[in-house]
Amino acid sequence: MLVIAGLGNPGARYARNRHNIGFLAVDAIAERGRFGAFRARHQALAAEGLIGDERVILLKPETYMNESGRSVSQALRFLKLDLAALAVIHDELDLPPGKVRLKVGGGDAGHNGLRSITAHLGSGYKRVRVGIGHPGDKALVHNYVLSDFAKSEAGWVEAVCRAIADAAPLLAAGQDASFQNKTHLAIEAAGFGEKPSA
């Protein structure tokens, strides 16, 4: 079993924020796969289903970003799973818009959602890092991540979420390098790749 947790903030006010790309990607996986409806569980909205032959729980914490670890740790404890069964999808300032990178463990790079999960569980989980770009000045980061994607960004956001959903069977099967390669090729084929229009 695998838990795929998308990070974001709950509620309509935040739904299209850059910080919520984890939620958007998890929604795309749910739409593409064989999942039941999202229901309130583990201080989150959770949906259970199959990706390939793997049983998967999709999780969207309702705790707000800074307390994501409360929800994710509760889900893992309830399901009696260790960190190897967790993949977290989150926004990444240090990657260009539309770039997807997967890594296991590491620091939180100032990301409050990752910091919370690591504080509750340790750092040895998979992170699907989705580039949103950087505003260029550290002082602008807070407003940048909590602002909506521009209309001109809709194309690459949709392409990234679709690519992650299409490659999710590889993530569920533990084929991390193939997952990353497939998402990269799909985003590039959609006309975005390294330099999406922003």
Active site annotation includes 19: yes
- Tens of pLDDT, residues 139-156: 999 999 999 999 999 999
What mean pLDDT is predicted for residues 52-66? 96
Angle at 166 between CA 164 and CA 171, to 5 degrees: 65
Out of 19, 42, 90, 184, pick the active-site residue.
19
Contact call for residues 159 and 98 (beta carbons, < 8 A) = yes
CATH class belonging to 2-189: alpha beta
Tokens in use for 64? Answer: 């707000």
- Tens of pLDDT, residues 158-185: 999 999 999 999 999 999 999 999 999 9
- Tens of pLDDT, residues 88-111: 999 999 999 999 999 999 999 889
First to last CA, the chain: 37
Q: Tokens 């990752």 — which residue? A: 114
What mean pLDDT is predicted for residues 14-18? 97
- pTM for the model stands at 0.95
Contact call for residues 56 and 89 (beta carbons, < 8 A) = no
